[in-house]
Amino acid sequence: MSKEDLIPFKKGQSGNPNGRPKGSLNRSTIAKKWLEVLSQEELEDGEVKWLSNEEAMTLSLIKKARNGDVNAYKALMDSAYGTAKDTVDINSNEKRSIDFKHLISGIKAKH
């Protein structure tokens, strides 16, 4: 069996010649469109307001976090302030030689 037998397409030939139609929307664009749609929502104080789906879902997440849902709290904090960054404490009382090049390469490897 030759190498050519293992390759199903000739060089320059597409595996999906029809492909995705031009102008079709990707999932992210569709999701953003529907998150912007407004609907009437009744707030906790009984007031009725027009909110986007994104706002309504965020308020729902806030309510869950207030009721002790740790995952909801983490999702809100990550959305509002970003995820926590890894830190390395290099202030140590131990008498050790620190290889900073090795330390920095380890930090860069995590990202």
Smallest Cα–Cα separation from 39: which of 60, 54, 58? Answer: 54
Q: What pLDDT digit, counting tens, does each position of 2-46 carry? A: 666 666 677 777 777 788 888 899 999 999 999 999 999 888 888
Q: What pLDDT digit, counting tens, does each position of 56-89 carry? A: 999 999 999 999 999 999 999 999 999 877 777 7
Give the rounded percent of residues in the chain with a pLDDT score beyond 90.
46
Give dist(CA 46, CA 48) in Å, integer: 6
Give dist(CA 39, CA 50) in Å, integer: 5
pTM of the model: 0.54
Q: 44 exposed, middle or buried (CB, 10 Å; 0-12, 13-18, 19+)?
A: exposed
Q: How far apart are the first and last CA of the chain?
A: 42
Q: Are the beta carbons of 106 and 90 closer than 8 angstroms?
A: no
Smallest Cα–Cα separation from 51: which of 35, 32, 31? Answer: 35
User: Hey, where are the domains in the chain?
Assistant: 28-82
- Give one word for 19, left, alpha or beta, with left for phi > 0 and alpha for psi -120 to 50: left
